């Protein structure tokens, strides 16, 4: 259930990111909500479920945008593993301490991705602009706390038993029979 709910939430975030939060095709003030989602998966969910959620999400992102296929897969998976590795070595797991880490890794992954693409497909992407990336980083940091709160709620909701086991369990007719 968690996987299904989170896949739907991820797709909804991508849709919001490509429509409502992207007023014009050259807007510099649109938050990378999908990255916050990736950060949540890295910090709050286990590996198997995260990968199950992440795979359809990167496919949707690659279909909806980008001219070089696989860019989003590279960015999301590298961000995911980097965050997971670094956060597992940190002594604190409080979200407020993790926000700077999330935004710094966002910047590092974007920079590395830009260099990678510039090396393998030069001239295919817009020139790197630090001020724009810092704005994106701040937007990611700003969106992290409320989105993590929403994702926590979603996770709690998705863990609820929609079909309680005790109602589905087959009972024997003789309820007074003692079990030895």
Partner 1 sequence: MVGPVQKIVTVSSNHVETFKREYVDILQDSLRLSEENKRLLKQLQDKELLLNRSREALATNASLRRLLEFKNTLDQQQSVPATIVGKDPSAMYRSVIIDQGANKGITKGDPVINSDGVVGQVFAVTPNYAKVLLAIAPSSAIDVLLQKSRVRGILKGNGTLTYRLEYILKTAEVEEQDYVVTAGYGGVFPTGLQVGVVSKIIKKSRGMFHEIEVTPSVDYQKLENLLILEQPKSSEIEKMEQQ
Residues within the interface to partner 1 (CB under 8 A): 14-15, 17-19, 21-22, 24-28, 30, 32, 34, 64-68, 71-72, 110, 114, 117, 123-127, 129, 132-133, 136
Pick between residue 87 and residue 109 the one whose CB is nearest to partner 1. Answer: 109
Q: How far is the CB of 170 from partner 1 (least distance, A)?
A: 48
Pick between residue 84 and residue 118 the one whose CB is nearest to partner 1. Answer: 118
3-state secondary structure of 16: helix
Pick between residue 13 and residue 41 the one whose CB is nearest to partner 1. Answer: 13
Q: How far is the CB of 145 from partner 1 (least distance, A)?
A: 21
- The span from the CA of 101 to the CA of 104, in Å, is 5
Q: How far is the CB of 101 from partner 1 (least distance, A)?
A: 21
Q: How far is the CB of 46 from partner 1 (least distance, A)?
A: 27
- The span from the CA of 148 to the CA of 44, in Å, is 9
Pick between residue 15 and residue 108 the one whose CB is nearest to partner 1. Answer: 15
Compute CA 29 distance to the chain's CA centroid, rounded to the nearest angstrom.
Answer: 19
Pick between residue 80 and residue 136 the one whose CB is nearest to partner 1. Answer: 136
Q: Sign of torsion, CA 25 27 30 35?
A: positive
Backbone φ and ψ of 18, nearest 5°: -90, -5
Residues making up the chain, counted from first to last: 180
- The span from the CA of 39 to the CA of 54, in Å, is 11
Q: How far is the CB of 116 from partner 1 (least distance, A)?
A: 11
Q: Sign of torsion, CA 92 95 101 102?
A: positive
The secondary structure of residue 123, as a DSSP letter, is T
């Amino acid at each position: 259930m968690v996987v299904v709910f989170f896949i739907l939430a991820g797709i909804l975030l991508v849709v919001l990111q490509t429509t409502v939060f992207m007023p014009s095709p050259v807007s510099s003030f649109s938050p990378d909500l999908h990255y916050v989602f990736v950060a949540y998966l890295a910090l709050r969910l286990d590996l198997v479920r995260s990968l199950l959620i992440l795979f359809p999400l990167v496919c949707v992102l690659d279909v909806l945008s980008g001219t070089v296929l696989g860019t989003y897969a590279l960015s999301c998976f590298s961000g995911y593993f980097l965050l997971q590795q670094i956060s597992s070595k940190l002594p604190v797991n409080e979200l407020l301490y993790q926000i700077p880490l999330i935004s710094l890794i966002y910047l590092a992954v974007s920079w590395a991705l830009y260099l990678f693409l510039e090396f393998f497909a030069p001239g295919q992407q817009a020139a790197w602009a630090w001020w724009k990336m810092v704005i994106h980083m701040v937007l990611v940091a700003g969106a992290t706390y409320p989105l993590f709160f929403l994702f926590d709620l979603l996770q709690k909701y998705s863990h609820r038993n929609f079909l309680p086991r005790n109602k589905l369990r087959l009972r024997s007719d003789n309820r007074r029979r003692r079990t030895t």
